[in-house]
Structure 1
């Protein structure tokens, strides 16, 4: 019988000769789904280098190639999250984790979708923080169709295919923030709400939980329509200034989305009621300082180290289970900070 060569295997597997060579020599540069397909074809047709290919693919199985897209690297929260994820990847003991972490400055749906597809080409599993959008849903379906599972971080995402999730119970975050206003504001009045973007579903659920608490427990408060910051500190500052101009007797502000540094700058300059309180989201240097000087009364935050550990573990489980298995959803408990425990 004629010996089955690399070109023969490439034709049988419907891949290029260079792909077969990379499976043999650089398995980390080939998608897991493709590696496994080429190996299965090699076994079926009796490829002469089957033993070498099995060892190569097995080596690729032992290393977890994980890709994560985070938002703007200039924002303190995402820098902190990126550091926590990198440290967790280094600490992973069962098998090496090759973490490919990218920051996105352009948050347009087309760019996020394109970067997700590009990252998936060299990863066994991918995760991202993003706003819900049809373009992104299509990209998620494209990625999962070739066997790469997708996990949403912080903000849940939907697509026709399964999308995992690691984050907080955002509905309970909103209710907890509402409890703080109900407990600390002596005379009920108007409360302003800032969100980054309604397409971030965690922020939408924050607001839903916030409103549900007051409907059930204290209808004397008036919740103003949320104002959108588009994750911009400059816009957040402008929104807070407008709130105080339009509602001078406002009793509180719930900052549920991005741009909190701008909101804090405006709050420090505003003339406020004595019992005015503000509740923010995520603990980092700026919000910690605001708790200490009284600009914020409470901060609700992701438990950064536990979040990073849960995210890496969820991605590895998704890789092992495959993109077509049931959705994994991990809801973490959140941390609460005041001036007394920062």
Structure 2
């Protein structure tokens, strides 16, 4: 059987012979997408130099340092995000990716701003989960001026200098939570919302969507004032216990921010008919929320597709570093996953 030639490879890859020659010999730069197409064609037709092509492309990849600033290192949710983001950075196909993950345990805005500035000295781009605050936005705009793109994940910022956002449509997420409460409740009654902080835009938009649904389609339900957990399970536990003791008409709870583990602990301990029948909707599928679904303590979890989000974020960060990005903020709106006891 005749061995494939350079001309055969050029035809299979739909490029010129000179382009194949540059890929084989590394004489002049070739666009990464074109080089990958040549490699794919070489593998497909059994070209004898495929190993050399693969090695050369691997050696020519740039080293890129991806910085991720997450919250509260003691929370398993953010430990999970650290693992997923690290894997996405290290497996990014177009660069030798290195992940640098740091946490902000004390959530004061100045701590986040200072941590972001410190992280910027060691990385090419930053992905961050944080609240919307003037001090944080000022840091983001300053980094943009210095050529360090900052992307928000899960919750956006209002900083004009942010490079992009990767996450869900949070209004739609809140409306979906309300749909489940309204349609799964045995009877109309009071409905509560927990947010970690009013400064998380994702939570504020989720609350907006939740309330909007009930104004439009659930007038028989009574919306209670929004309650703040400060992202702390113990605070969420105390608020939930108080509601269970004082609100016999409570039928639904949407936990739009942190604290779901505290909510579940209160529900397990209470064991009253109100606790057992209440429709609780939370965010993010973790080992804890998976157990809550299995037990029936919570009914629905609306979750980011973790690996899709991480891969999308890393690619957006890399593209912002490698190109002169436009002043337009890139929006990557991902679908959210819906989990119940039936599909975990």
Whether the 8 Å CA contact 1:147–1:322 is kept in 2: the answer is no
Aligned match for 1:276, one of 269, 275, 278: 278
What's the counterpart of residue 335 of structure 1?
337
1:321 Cα deviation after fit: 3.0
Q: Equivalent residues in 2 for 1:82-93 (5 A)?
A: 82-93=82-93
What's the counterpart of residue 161 of structure 2?
161
TM-score by length of 1: 0.80
What's the counterpart of residue 214 of structure 1?
214
1:275 Cα deviation after fit: 3.7
Matched residues, number: 284
CA distance in 2, matches of 1:286, 1:196: 18
Q: Equivalent residues in 2 for 1:281-292 (5 A)?
A: 281-292=283-294
CA distance in 1, matches of 2:184, 2:75: 30
Whether the 8 Å CA contact 1:231–1:259 is kept in 2: the answer is yes
1:272 Cα deviation after fit: 3.0
What's the counterpart of residue 325 of structure 1?
327
Deviations 1:203-237 (A, max 9, x none): 00000000111111121011111110000011000
1:227 aligns with 2:227: yes
CA distance in 2, matches of 1:299, 1:218: 21
Whether the 8 Å CA contact 2:69–2:103 is kept in 1: the answer is yes
TM-score by length of 2: 0.79
Q: Equivalent residues in 2 for 1:174-193 (5 A)?
A: 174-193=174-193
1:122 Cα deviation after fit: 2.3
Whether the 8 Å CA contact 1:229–1:259 is kept in 2: the answer is yes
CA distance in 2, matches of 1:183, 1:310: 33
Specify whether residues 259 and 60 from structure 1 end up closer, same or farther in structure 2 by C-alpha distance, changes over 3 A only: farther
Q: Secondary structure at the match of 1:114?
A: helix
Whether the 8 Å CA contact 1:149–1:322 is kept in 2: the answer is no
1:144 aligns with 2:158: no
1:186 Cα deviation after fit: 2.0
Superposed CA RMSD in Å reads 1.6
Q: Secondary structure at the match of 2:111?
A: helix
Gaps of 5+ in 1: 1-58
Q: Secondary structure at the match of 1:251?
A: strand
1:251 Cα deviation after fit: 0.8
What's the counterpart of residue 14 of structure 2?
none
> Which moved further from structure 2: 195-204 or 101-110?
101-110
CA distance in 2, matches of 1:229, 1:249: 22
What's the counterpart of residue 110 of structure 1?
110
Deviations 1:27-50 (A, max 9, x none): xxxxxxxxxxxxxxxxxxxxxxxx
> Which moved further from structure 2: 62-71 or 225-234?
62-71
Q: Equivalent residues in 2 for 1:1-342 (5 A)?
A: 62-270=62-270, 271-273=272-274, 275-322=277-324, 325-342=327-344
CA distance in 1, matches of 2:105, 2:262: 18
Deviations 1:273-319 (A, max 9, x none): 36421111111111111111110111111111111111101111221
Whether the 8 Å CA contact 1:148–1:323 is kept in 2: the answer is no
